[in-house]
């Protein structure tokens, strides 16, 4: 009903927005600049923000521009859970065996990230 009335060519605010259609607001432009700075530093980052603010789309846009042989990008959507759930998700994405306690999981993740950083 609304789409026809307003003559939309597509539904606004779709969850799977094409990264190229992302409106370059001040917040979005700043997030993109910060992520590109992380790349220059060869650092690890965490993107947080309000629901619907464009976090995933900004990350997808950056990820699509990266050479897949040079960068390893993974997405861990966690809005609930505890630290061990986060460690398990990160470890799984890094191809690590599941650790039973937080200290061992953290150590395994840190070791793998250090290895990956020194590799290139």
Q: How far is residue 107's CA from residue 53's CA, in Å, rounded to a whole number?
A: 33
User: What is the three-class DSSP state of 39?
Assistant: helix
**pLDDT at residue number 14:** 67
**pLDDT at residue number 37:** 95
Neighbours of 92 (CB within 10 A): 13
Left (φ > 0), alpha (ψ -120 to 50) or beta: where does 42 sit?
A: left
**pLDDT at residue number 1:** 65
**pLDDT at residue number 68:** 86
**pLDDT at residue number 76:** 83
**pLDDT at residue number 12:** 66
**Positions of the chain with pLDDT under 70:** 1, 12-15, 79, 120
**pLDDT at residue number 23:** 79
Q: How far is residue 95's CA from residue 110's CA, in Å, rounded to a whole number?
A: 13
């Amino acid at each position: 009903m609304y789409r026809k009335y307003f003559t939309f060519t597509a539904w606004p605010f779709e969850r799977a927005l094409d990264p190229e259609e992302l409106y370059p607001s001040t917040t979005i432009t700043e997030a993109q600049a910060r992520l590109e700075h992380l790349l220059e530093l060869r650092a690890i980052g965490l993107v947080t923000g309000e629901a619907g603010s464009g976090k995933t789309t900004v990350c997808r846009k950056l990820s699509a521009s990266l050479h897949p042989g040079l960068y390893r990008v993974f997405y861990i959507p966690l809005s609930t859970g505890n630290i061990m759930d986060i460690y398990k998700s990160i470890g799984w994405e890094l191809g690590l065996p599941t650790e039973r306690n937080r200290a061992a999981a953290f150590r395994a993740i840190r070791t793998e990230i250090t290895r990956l950083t020194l590799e290139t």
